[in-house]
Amino acid sequence: MPRFCANLTMLFTEYPVLERPMAAAKAGFGGVEILFPYDVNAAELGTALARAKMPLALINCPPPNYIDPDGPRGFAAVVGEEARFQQSFRRTIRYAGALGAEHVHIMAGVAGGPDARACFIDNLKWAAAFAPKQSLTIEPINTHDMPGYFLNCFDLALEVLDAVAAPNLNLQFDAYHAARIEGDVLGVWDKVRHQVTHIQVGGVPGRHEPTGGDFDYPDFFKLLEKQKYKGWISGEYHPVGRTDENLSWIS
């Protein structure tokens, strides 16, 4: 059976952050991810996760000021920000260790060109060597939702993974972004699935519940089960109403 987890940055926002793990557990999720947990006391969050018996599937790197609309969307590919990247990555790894996060998603940031590609690869090599026991991911993000984002195509992601060649660095596959970037979600999945360790889902095109819309998620979940995919499938979307009003997709 697929392992479904809830993105607590987007889901169950009807509750305070420390109450969301228990809400997710009661709703039937097997785990959670939190994109940016840095403003929450790690010990208190760890207690909330343990009380709910919710493993933490993933957190993002960096930054705590991501919620600032003018703040950077990561800077692993931004030339000149290498020291800042290393500082933020060290902080992320401390949080990941304290909370038992399975994966850390490294965000590339807004950049472009061969220098950005080289910078991204160098930073990823450094990160993979700095935390060799921590699973790391990179994720292509469409430029409609995040203009100028460096890692905006799956072919580029595969090239970067090949160049870094680190066993603890793999691909994060977001079906919503795959639809936005290439249109053919299943075609992209077939091309990249050998590198994927974490999946995120959201309705196409509105990034609401993964039901209806332009992509058949029930068939996708059946395919993943047939292919014996072992990782998490995270609901990363904006609920139309209360989160618990439409969770039929995990049943």
Q: Verify whether residue 236 is a known catalytic residue.
A: yes
Residue 105's beta-bridge partner residues?
A: 60, 137
Of 28, 82, 75, the C-alpha closest to 53 is 28
Measured distance CA(45)–CA(180) in Å, rounded: 33
Q: What is the DSSP string of 56-99?
A: EEEEEES-GGGGSTTS-SB-TT-TT-HHHHHHHHHHHHHHHHHH
Q: Are strands 169-174 and 3-7 parallel, antiparallel or unpaired?
A: unpaired
Q: Which residue's entry shows tokens 């936005």?
A: 180
Out of 139, 159, 225, 245, which one is annotated catalytic? 139
> With 60 as the cut, is the pLDDT of residue 226 above it?
yes
Q: What is the pTM of this model?
A: 0.96
Average pLDDT over the chain, rounded to an integer = 95
Q: Residue 136 in 3-state DSSP?
A: strand
Indicate the pLDDT class of residue 2, thresholds 50, 70 and 90: confident
Report the CATH number that the domain containing residue 239 is assigned in CATH: 3.20.20.150
Indicate the pLDDT class of residue 213, thresholds 50, 70 and 90: confident
What's the total number of domains in the chain? 1
Q: Verify whether residue 82 is a known catalytic residue.
A: no
Could you read off the pLDDT of 167-212 as tens digits, one per residue? 999 999 999 999 999 999 999 999 999 999 999 999 999 999 999 8
> With 70 as the cut, is the pLDDT of residue 130 above it?
yes
Sign of the Cα torsion 184, 190, 194, 200 reads positive
Q: Are residues 243 and 13 in contact, defined by beta-carbon separation less than 8 angstroms?
A: yes
**Structural domain boundaries enclosing 164:** 3-250
* Structure confidence at residue 72 (pLDDT): 72
Measured distance CA(194)–CA(184) in Å, rounded: 17
- Counting residues of the chain whose pLDDT is more than 90, the rounded percentage is 92
